[in-house]
Amino acid sequence: MVFKQFKRTYSERLHELEKMGKTHAELIEERTKEKCERIWTEQLFRRSPGSETDPHIVVVSGVAGIGKSTMVQKIMFDWARGTQYQRFAFVFLFKFRELTLLDTETEPQMPLTRLIVRHYKYLNDPRLRQILQKPESLLFIFDGLDEYKHKLDFTHSKLCSNPEEDYFPVHTLVTSLVRRTLLTGCTVLITTRPTALETLAMKRVDRFAEILGFFPEQRLMYFNKFFGDADRGSEAFQYVEENAILYTMCFNPSYCWIICSVLKSHFMTPEEERGAAPRTVTELFVMFLHNILTKHKREAKDQREILIKLGKMAYYGVVNKTLVFYDKFEMSTFGLQTVVLSSTFLSGFLKEILQRESTLEHTTYTFYHLTLQEFMAALSYYLDPSGGIEELLVKLDLCKDGRFEILTQFLAGLARPSVFKTLGGVLGEFERKTAKRILEWVKQKAEQALQGEDKGEVLRVCQWLYETQNKRLIRDAIGKDLKMDFTRMILSPLDCAVLGSVISCCGELEELDLKYTHLTSECIMRLAPGLICCRRIDLSRCRLTSRCCSALSSALSSPHSRLTELNLSNNNNMEDSGVNQLCEGMRSENCKLEKLNLSYCGLTSRCCSTLSSALSAPHSRLTELTLSKNIMEDSGVNQLCEGLRSENCKLEKLNLSSCGLTSRCCSALSSALCAPHSRLTELNLSKNKDMEDSGVEQLCEVLRSENCKLEKLNLSKCCLTSRCCSALCSALSSPHSRLTELNLRENNKMEDSGVDQLCEGLRSENCKLEKLNLELCGLTSRCSSSLSSVLSSPHSQLTELNLRFNSLGDAGARQLCECLRTPDCKLKTLSLRSCDLTSRCSSSLSSVLSSPHSQLTELDLRDNKLGYSGTRQLCEGVRTTSCKLKTLWLSDKEISESEMKNLRSLQEELNRTGRQVNIKI
Closest by alpha carbon to 405, among 792, 667, 18?
18
CATH 3.80.10.10 fits 664-762, yes or no: yes
Enclosing H/E stretch for 37: strand 36-38
Pick the CATH number of 2-213 from 1.10.287, 3.40.50, 1.10.3470, 2.60.40: 3.40.50
Q: Where are the beta strands (DSSP E) in 286-434?
A: 325-326, 354-358, 363-367
Cα separation of 352 and 355, whole Å? 8
The CA-CA-CA angle for residues 221, 226, 231, to 5°, reads 70
Closest by alpha carbon to 456, among 493, 410, 409, 488?
488
Phi, psi of 889 (to 5 degrees): -100, 125
Phi, psi of 490 (to 5 degrees): -105, 105
> Do the bridges between strand 653-655 and strand 682-684 make them parallel or antiparallel, or are there none, so unpaired?
parallel
Q: How many Cβ atoms from other residues are within 10 Å of residue 158's Cβ?
A: 10
Cα separation of 543 and 540, whole Å? 8
Q: List CB contacts of 189: < 8 A, sequence separation 6 or more.
A: 44, 45, 58, 59, 60, 72, 75, 139, 140, 141, 142
Q: How many Cβ atoms from other residues are within 10 Å of residue 630's Cβ?
A: 28
Which amino acid is residue 453, in one-letter code? E
Q: Please list the residues that pair with 365 across neighbouring strands.
A: 325, 356
The DSSP string of 610-643 is HHHHHHTSTT----EEE-TTSB-HHHHHHHHHHH
- Which tens digit of pLDDT belongs to each residue from 664-712? 999 999 999 999 999 999 999 999 999 989 999 999 999 999 999 999 9
Q: Give the pLDDT confidence score for residue 574 in this predicted structure.
A: 93
Answer whether 340's CB lies under 8 Å from 307's CB: no
Q: How many Cβ atoms from other residues are within 10 Å of residue 870's Cβ?
A: 24
Question: What are the distances in angstroms from CA 797 to CA 147, 254, 708, 769, 814?
Answer: 77, 74, 20, 6, 21
Answer whether 227's CB lies under 8 Å from 236's CB: yes
Start-end of CATH 3.40.50 domains in the chain: 2-213
Q: How far out from the chain centre does Cα 215 lie?
A: 24
Answer whether 722's CB lies under 8 Å from 750's CB: yes
Burial of 472 (0-12, 13-18, 19+ CB in 10 A): exposed
Q: Give the pLDDT confidence score for residue 358 in this predicted structure.
A: 76
The region that residue 494 occupies, defined by phi over 0 for left and psi between -120 and 50 for alpha, beta otherwise, is alpha
CA atoms within 13 A on the CB side of 605: 11
> Do the bridges between strand 363-367 and strand 325-326 make them parallel or antiparallel, or are there none, so unpaired?
antiparallel
Buried b (16+ CB within 10 A) or exposed e, 880-899: eeebebeebbbbeebbeeeb
Q: At what angle do helices 575-586 and 549-557 cross, to 10 degrees?
A: 10
Closest by alpha carbon to 198, among 432, 65, 14, 351?
14
Q: How far out from the chain centre does Cα 72 lie?
A: 36
Q: At what angle do helices 633-644 and 666-673 cross, to 10 degrees?
A: 10
Q: How many Cβ atoms from other residues are within 10 Å of residue 523's Cβ?
A: 28
Burial of 133 (0-12, 13-18, 19+ CB in 10 A): exposed
Cα separation of 910 and 903, whole Å? 11
Q: Give the pLDDT confidence score for residue 894 in this predicted structure.
A: 61
Q: List CB contacts of 471: < 8 A, sequence separation 6 or more.
A: 505
Cα separation of 358 and 324, whole Å? 12
Burial of 362 (0-12, 13-18, 19+ CB in 10 A): middle
Cα four-point dihedral sign 338, 342, 348, 354: positive
Q: How many Cβ atoms from other residues are within 10 Å of residue 752's Cβ?
A: 20
Q: Give the pLDDT confidence score for residue 343 in this predicted structure.
A: 42
Which amino acid is residue 242, in one-letter code? E
Q: Give the pLDDT confidence score for residue 6 in this predicted structure.
A: 47
Q: How many Cβ atoms from other residues are within 10 Å of residue 739's Cβ?
A: 23
Closest by alpha carbon to 813, among 833, 789, 837, 792?
837
Q: At what angle do helices 521-531 and 493-506 cross, to 10 degrees?
A: 10
Could you give the dihedral angle defined by the CA atoms of residues 463, 467, 471 and 477, in that order, rounded to the nearest 10 degrees? -40
Answer whether 375's CB lies under 8 Å from 291's CB: no
Mention the CATH class of domain 779-921. Answer: alpha beta
Answer whether 614's CB lies under 8 Å from 640's CB: no
Using 50 as the pLDDT threshold, list the residues of the chain that sit under it.
1-2, 6-15, 17-23, 26-27, 30-34, 343-345
Answer whether 525's CB lies under 8 Å from 501's CB: no
Start-end of CATH 3.80.10.10 domains in the chain: 664-762, 779-921
- Written in H, E and C, the secondary structure of 80-145 is HHCCCCCCCCEEEEEEHHHHHHHCCCCCCEECHHHHHHHHCCCCCHHHHHHHHCCHHHEEEEEECH
Cα separation of 299 and 350, whole Å? 11
Cα four-point dihedral sign 747, 748, 754, 759: positive
> Do the bridges between strand 138-143 and strand 354-358 make them parallel or antiparallel, or are there none, so unpaired?
unpaired
Answer whether 716's CB lies under 8 Å from 743's CB: yes
